[in-house]
Structure 1
Amino acid sequence: MGKILIDDIVPIIVIMALGYVCGKLSYFDDDQRQGLNKLVLNIALPAALFISIVKATREMLAQDAVLTAIGFVGIIVMFMISYYLCRLMFHRSIQEAAVCALIAGSPTIGFLGFAVLDPIYGDTVSTNLVIAIISIVVNAITIPIGMYLINVGQAKDRARLSAATVTNSKGEVKVADKAAKTPAIVATKDDEAVDPSKDAKQDRNAEVMVSKSSNKGKKKNQNLEALINALKQPVCWAPLLAIALVLIGVRVPSSFAPTFDLIAKANSGVAVLAAGLALSTVKFSLGWETLWNTFYRLILTPAAFLGVGLLCGMGSDVNKLSMLVLAVALPPAFSGIIISSRYNIYVKEGASTTAVSTVAFAVTCLLWIWLVPLCAH
């Protein structure tokens, strides 16, 4: 266990701290920080997701139907519960709740899965199966769902802003609905609307929209538009393509793996560094929301999987049940904080949750290793 802490957990904390210090010292300007996020989100992360998923096979998924079912259903259910609880308990917007679910509702299985599980349980078929199943669900299902929800929320914001504005006889654009929770639009002399948050838009910290869309007078289906916009993102279509290849039985030649692996190796290190940079741009938060997200990620989610696993008869194979619980008890997926930082959504709470959860995992990891066999017996 000490080896895991030294080899895996400590490097994450050190690199995240390095990113935080670099941010505080302005070692990276805003353009460079966004460039790192774009590198991870649009290139390195999609490559890492693709190559990790295509290594699985249909036979692996069919090998243990109970484990596969619990993994697929459980991750999606806990992701959506995190989303709805964030909206209900903390009154977050659709976009913020989606990013919260990507962080609090998704484990960093791609980065720490093998690093944590292999030393404890060995490099076995069961270990690879657990990691493959959780990785597929997190990367190929919850990330596209999260991006879709972000697009839905932003589409609704655009529609609400459009409905809440009127143009007077002088060509001035004003907010008609004072209750609208959108920035007010003020007038200009040239019949051109100017948003008072324009200065903020010039700040590279702020990503205005995940994807822009024009409104040419045609009423659009917001859900369909949001789905299409989400599927355009490499972080969505790359894992979906990979799982499609797995399901139809197409094997990617092993000669292609080194190409994907080379760029994928940049994902974890840069993602952790970028998380530290993101944390440096906001005031660290150790409020109730951060504590709740940490509790949900490290305690509530694995406890739910442990209970369901026992009810489904997995108690007879303690090692496999323990691997499943520990896989979903990992710290937040770094893809969540990258999406958060890239689009300037839920950055303060997301970065704080990632930092606190990563440190706290050193304790909760030991807790679950001890507790699962005890409950199974």
Structure 2
Amino acid sequence: MLDRIVGPLLPVAFVIVLGFLAGKRGKLNHSDSLLISRLVLNWIFPALLLAGMAATPRSQLLDFRFVIATFIGIMGMYALTFAIGWYRYRELKAATLKAFVCGYPDAAFMGIPILQVMFGPGSLYSVLVLNLVASLVMIPLSTMLLTVASGEGSGAKAFVSSISTAVRRPLMWAPAIGILCSLLAIKLPPVLADSLNLLGKATPGVSLLCLGLIMSSVKLKLSSEVWVNTGLKLLLHPALMAGALVLLAVKGHYAQQMILLCALPSATIPAMFANEAGAYKSEATTSILISTVLSIVTFAFAIYLIDGGLAAA
């Protein structure tokens, strides 16, 4: 069991450390991290989302109970931690980024190899559903809120202008195009699909390297905020997802897989957003780092519980 957890985590840790050392040794600097963040958020990650959503079979997107339960578990966590962040900071950027860190598990980069070992290739469906909710709702919502928070001036005109700017960003329209292609059964031309996949496959390595680079340029503080974020992500999030699945009577392997996905540490993408927004950087990067380290213990326990459920079934 330990091998199943440590195996996927070691490459993640290696790439993060590589980026950290590059920053500390002056090979890359803070300006480079901003450039890489823009590369991830505006080019390679949207390509991954568009290609992944377009390749998702329409029939899988129509499993409404599972999709709704996933939505409740993911966006419920987002809404809860946003409220906590707003109560603590009374500032839109910090509240949004706290919600993003606590509500977005590292399903794409860590979930796929772990679940494939446990459940086989069919487990990719759970990852796609989670990323569907994240890419169509959480990421665009976070983009919109951060854009609004960064807008100059006040009033309805400034708000509409900020929303218009957010909608034009690739992270807003790329996944929407992909899901529209899936629902209409439109297949991307092979050359276009291969090109998007080629670009999108760079997302895990580049984002992890950038996370390490960001860590090298900010002061990592083990504050109460970080410990609260870690507890919310590793303990409350899988419990909340389990409650949503029970509420909608969703059972079986997909339900078990979704609980495990929510027990994963925070994804690296929120750190890219924090870096680009110039807010909540230390809290976001430290929370991601600590949740990744502690997940070796908490995720092993989650697997133990799920394995017990599989054995009893």
TM over 0.5: yes
Q: Which runs of 4+ in 1 moved over 3 A?
A: 1-7, 372-377
Number of the residue aligned with 1:205: none
Per the TM alignment, residue 234 of structure 1 is displaced from its structure 2 partner at its CA by 1.3
User: Which one has a bigger Cα radius of gyration?
Assistant: 1
Distance 2:225 2:160 in 1: 31
- State the TM-score, normalizing by the size of structure 2: 0.92
Between Structure 1 and Structure 2, the one with more helix by share is: 2
Per the TM alignment, residue 47 of structure 1 is displaced from its structure 2 partner at its CA by 0.9
Q: Is the 8 A contact 1:54 1:245 kept in 2?
A: yes
Per the TM alignment, residue 346 of structure 1 is displaced from its structure 2 partner at its CA by 0.8
Number of the residue aligned with 2:125: 129
Number of the residue aligned with 1:5: 5
- CA-to-partner distance for each residue in 1:281-324, whole Å, 9 max, x for gaps? 11111111111111111110111111222233234x2x222101
Q: Is the 8 A contact 1:297 1:329 kept in 2?
A: yes
Comparing 1-10 with 16-25, which one deviates more in the overlay? 1-10
Number of the residue aligned with 1:140: 136
Distance 2:169 2:300 in 1: 37
Comparing 73-82 with 129-138, which one deviates more in the overlay? 73-82
Q: Is the 8 A contact 1:107 1:138 kept in 2?
A: no
Number of the residue aligned with 1:93: 91
SS in 1 for 2:121: coil
1:312–1:91 Cα change, 3 Å: same
Runs of at least 5 residues in structure 2 that lack an aligned partner in the other structure: none
Runs of at least 5 residues in structure 1 that lack an aligned partner in the other structure: 161-218
Q: CA RMSD in A?
A: 2.0
Q: Is the 8 A contact 1:75 1:106 kept in 2?
A: yes
Number of the residue aligned with 1:77: 76
**Identity in percent:** 25
| Structural mapping, 1:40-119, within 5 Å | 40-62=40-62, 64-88=63-87, 90-119=88-117
Distance 1:110 1:308 in 2: 21
Amino acid at match of 2:84: L
Distance 1:140 1:299 in 2: 25
Which of 264, 268, 274 is 2:204 aligned to? Answer: 268
Amino acid at match of 1:326: L
Amino acid at match of 2:136: A
Amino acid at match of 1:99: L
Distance 2:104 2:157 in 1: 29
Amino acid at match of 2:249: G
- State the TM-score, normalizing by the size of structure 1: 0.77
Per the TM alignment, residue 118 of structure 1 is displaced from its structure 2 partner at its CA by 0.7
Amino acid at match of 1:232: R
Distance 2:129 2:159 in 1: 28
Q: Is the 8 A contact 1:306 1:372 kept in 2?
A: no
Q: Is the 8 A contact 1:48 1:260 kept in 2?
A: yes
Distance 1:55 1:123 in 2: 15
Distance 1:5 1:39 in 2: 30
Distance 2:233 2:58 in 1: 29
| Structural mapping, 1:226-265, within 5 Å | 226-265=162-201
